[in-house]
Amino acid sequence: MLYPYKFIPALVERVWGGTALSRYGKSIPFGKRIGESWEISDRDDVQSVIANGPDKGKTLREQITAHGAQLLGTNCGKANRFPLLIKLLDARERLSLQVHPPASVAAKLKGEPKTEMWCVLEAEQDAHLIAGFRRGTTGADFMRALEGIRNHNGKEKTIEDYIYRFPVLTGDTFFVPSGRMHAIDAGVVLVEIQQSSDTTYRIYDWGRVGLDGKPRKLQISESLACIDFQDYEPRKQRATVEYHGVNGLWRLVECPYFHVHRLELRNAWPDRCDGSTFHILSCTKGAVGLLTPDGKEERINVGEFILLPAALGFYTLTPLAEGTQALKSYVPRLA
């Protein structure tokens, strides 16, 4: 029998991580800098394990093998792997400047294509994101800075003279298509929803050393093959809103790989998994009550994620606190 699944988070130490995810229900080991909590993963090296119900202890991969399209939905076609990877990130320090490969070059580089989006849960005062280039920058400018070569006017310029850095606030949403150079700056906690890929090419690491005390490896040639050098000063997502009674639905990102909506819950919200796709629900403010077709109730707290199988049927969300907001993610019909 299929039912809503919660999973045991997989915590990943990063040199840029911290302890902020403890505020989101994660048990941070003493002295560890946890940068990522992998909430839903069907990667060979990180398999999400079910934390609730009769299938507790089974992996997401085992459930997909057993139930196929009943779990994934018809939008996934004949896929036998979960198409998304869901994370929480805590950037206490700036992440490396990096890029993910587009589908057109990923296979040549022996990587996987990766498009992602960010929903900011916390942003400290003067927090920023980095994405794309300042307008007017050329590929030659950037490569000269990367190589540490003086440019034509004799003035020493650095990579930071050419990248686009902009302020970010709690609640902001940002889209990171493959090929977009990017970094998360210090003081940000966010939800990351992405294709199920772990391919990242590191361009520059600000002179930092890793957890082992050694400089972290860069992938310059791979990065240059992936970067979109025409990506100038990208903007944060402008959401479109629809109202369902007193409730609101904000369309944050709708791309070929995933759709992500923000729900503002002031009253009961009926919805349905109709067999075409699973739904992933998470709470970003307040707390959410989930009533399933068999009359069982689940509570979703801030920082928790729950997977609703495609064949689940009707369900109802209710706000358990004033100002409750949730994210709903699913896949459109995949090519």
User: Hey, which residues are catalytic here?
Assistant: 202
Length of the chain in residues, anyone?
335
> What is the amino acid identity at position 112?
E
Cα separation, 330 vs 257, in Å, equals 9
CA 319: distance to chain centroid? 24
59: β partners: 49
CA nearest to 261, candidates 292, 284, 245, 235: 284
CB atoms within 10 A of CB 114: 25
d(CA 308, CA 330): 10
Q: Please state, in angstroms and rounded to a whole number, the distance separating the CA atoms of residues 177 and 159.
A: 21
- Hey, how many other C-beta atoms are within 10 angstroms of the C-beta on 322? 8
